[in-house]
Amino acid sequence: MSTASAEITPGTLDVGRVRGDFAFTRRPGDHAYLDSAATAQRPASVLDAERAFVEESYAAVHRGSSEATGEATVAFEDARADIARFVGAPAPERIVFTENATDALNVVALGLSDASLGLGGTSPGAPALALRPGDEILVTEAEHHANLIPWQRLALRTGAVLRWAPVDEHGLWTIDGLAAASGPRTKLIAFGHVSNVTGAVAPVADVVGLARSLGALTVLDACQSVPHRAIDLDALGVDFAAFSGHKMLGPTGIGVLYGRRELLDALPPARTGGSTITTVTMEAAEFLPAPQRFEAGTQPVSQAVGLGAAVRYLEELGMPAVSAREDELAALLVDAVERVPGVRLVGPPAGAERAALVSVVVDGVHAHDVGQFLDDRGITVRTGHHCAQPLHRALGVAATTRASAYVYTTDDEIARFGAALAEVRAFFGADR
């Protein structure tokens, strides 16, 4: 990590020093990057770690007996251990590298599909993972498409029924609504820890309790929580969880699947081939335990090294300090929006727990026009349905404008966002 971030006092987050670690803050002009919920910027230490590995230690991992292979494998597995520690996994073997979080969720869904077909060669006494016709998969109406479409497909393949908890006029679902949608045949509950549209934080303990009372598995989409708050997945009690590298200061092209060891070892691999097997004959194959059983082919080695550096960077900042700062940013974002007439805030109201992101509807102005107006003023936001069309349909809008903050976001950038947002309706003549 750079000297600037290394000097941060434990328990605090000096945004000025943090920003010194990010080259994008030195771009000419006055730019406010408020799109970290889509993808985060990367600090110098992450770029340096990945570059140094590629230049000095690059080799295939888990293949061969050369010194180079050994060094690369150590770097790869050290990254896995760092990530396991960061999210509270009791052992590195509970961390599987995937292409991204979407891929991780598909690994679970496709594995359950194969288990339902009797594939996978799971050992006697392994957990029962097969779904039968009439079994139920439960989600919420607020889910990102990545945590919805795989379960739609799983239901179609197995004859299971997909059910969901509805959202209200603010885009929020409740544990009571989830419980009402559940039943004795509920076998899996998949839900987002933090909504990428509303910023609402799910009651994970309540959902896990509901699932356990039904004998159902839980799958947590942790993309918007792992980068922003201290997370202990083992303590949360979820069976599987997924998150992405590029949303937490790391590289693109890598995600993580976390799972309970006995479930990972019982889950059939979604993709097969090199690196996943113990024995192969012309008639059949036997697979390694997790995580290798899921990491077919050439692994994302340099990306894993970069992600390991990202979690070490966040650990040095201190996740309690990151979370506390983001609570401040969330309050500033909500206040900036609520000061502007004719702008509707989606999600939890002021004072309620939320992530440091806001999605808004500007009366009389399409979200894409709002985004272009802000972009012309040097403020980068996200526009569209944010891969959550059912949620937007429930809100009665096709798209929203989202601003999202992270460790490098300043109070002034949020003030600029609020001031520019206040000019939108007049610019488009929507205030007449």
Closest CA to 349 of 327, 334, 328: 334
| Closest by Cα among 330, 320, 412, 357 to 8 | 320
Cα separation of 318 and 8, whole Å? 10
Query: CB neighbours of 153 closer than 8 A, spacing ≥ 6?
Result: 109, 113
Report the alpha-carbon distance of residue 19 to residue 23 in Å, rounded.
Answer: 8
- For residue 43, is the peptide bond before it cis, meaning its omega torsion is within 30 degrees of 0? no
pLDDT per residue over 327-373, tens digit each? 999 999 999 999 999 999 999 999 999 999 999 999 999 999 999 99
Instruction: Provide CATH 3.40.640.10 ranges for the chain.
Output: 51-315
- Kindly report the average pLDDT of the chain as a whole number: 94
CA nearest to 188, candidates 102, 105, 104 = 105
Instruction: Report, as an integer, the average pLDDT of 141-157.
Output: 98
CB atoms near residue 412 (< 10 Å): 11
Contact by Cβ (8 Å): 241, 233:
yes
The answer to whether residues 318 and 397 touch, using CB atoms and an 8 Å cutoff, is: no
Amino acid at 107: V
pLDDT attached to residue 327: 97
Tell me the percentage of the chain whose pLDDT exceeds 90: 87
User: What amino acid is encoded at 354 in this protein?
Assistant: R
At 87-102, the pLDDT tens digits run 999 999 999 999 999 9
Minimum mean pLDDT range among 34-43, 192-201, 288-297, 330-339: 288-297
10 has pLDDT over 50: no
387 catalytic? Reply is yes
Q: How confident is the model at residue 171 (pLDDT cuts 50, 70, 90)?
A: very high
Residue 69 pLDDT greater than 90, yes or no: no
Q: Helix 101-116 vs helix 149-158: angle between axes, to the nearest 10 degrees?
A: 10
> CATH 3.90.1150.10 occupies which residues in the chain?
3-42+318-427
On the question of pLDDT at 1 being above 60, the answer is no
Q: Where do we find the tokens 């808004």? A: 360
Tens of pLDDT, residue by residue over 119-140, are 864 454 557 799 999 999 999 9
Three state DSSP letters for the chain: CCHHHHCCCCCCCCHHHHHCCCHHHHCCCCCEECECCCCCCCCHHHHHHHHHHHHHCCCCCCCCCCHHHHHHHHHHHHHHHHHHHHHCCCCHHHEEEECCHHHHHHHHHHHHHHHHCCCCCCCCCCCCCCCCCCCEEEEECCCCHHHCHHHHHHHHHHCCEEEEECCCCCCCCCHHHHHHHCCCCEEEEEEECECCCCCCECCHHHHHHHHHHHCCEEEEECCCCCCCCCCCHHHHCCCEEEEECCCCCCCCCCEEEEECHHHHHHCCCCCCCCCCEEEECCCCEEECCCCHHHCCCCCCHHHHHHHHHHHHHHHHHCHHHHHHHHHHHHHHHHHHHHCCCCEEEECCCCCCCCCCEEEEEECCCCHHHHHHHHHHCCEECEEECCCCHHHHHHHCCCCEEEEECCCCCCHHHHHHHHHHHCCHHHHCCCCC
Asked whether the predicted pLDDT for residue 212 surpasses 80, the reply is yes
State the pLDDT at residue 353. Answer: 96
pLDDT at 71 over 50: yes
Give me the torsion for CA of 235, 388, 37, 218, rounded to 10°: 10
First to last CA, the chain: 52
- pLDDT single digits (tens) 48-59: 999 999 999 888
* Assigned CATH class of 3-42+318-427: alpha beta
The topology under which CATH files domain 51-315 is Aspartate Aminotransferase; domain 2 (3.40.640)
pLDDT of 430 > 80? The answer is: yes
pLDDT at 6 over 50: no
pLDDT tens column, 394-409: 999 999 999 999 999 9
- Least confident residue range of 2-6, 21-25, 84-88, 359-363: 2-6
Q: What is the pLDDT of residue 128?
A: 77
* Confidence category of residue 4, pLDDT binned at 50, 70, 90: very low
Q: Catalytic one among 277, 387, 419, 430?
A: 387
What is the model's pLDDT at position 5?
A: 38
Q: Which residues contact 138 (CB under 8 A, 6 or more apart)?
A: 163, 164, 165, 178, 181, 182, 186, 188, 189, 190, 216
Kindly indicate the confidence band of residue 11, based on its pLDDT and cuts at 50, 70 and 90. low
- What pLDDT, on the 0 to 100 scale, is given for residue 313? 98
Q: How far apart are CA 418 and CA 245, in angstroms?
A: 29
pLDDT band at 42 (very low <50, low <70, confident <90, very high): very high
Tell me the C-alpha distance between 200 and 353, whole Å: 7
Q: How many other C-beta atoms are found inside a 10 Å radius of the C-beta of residue 358?
A: 33
Listed range (52-66, 168-182, 318-332) with the worst mean pLDDT: 52-66
Note the pLDDT of residue 16. Answer: 95
Q: Do residues 296 and 276 lie in contact, with contact meaning Cβ atoms separated by under 8 Å?
A: yes
**202: closest CA among 171, 180, 247, 227?**
171
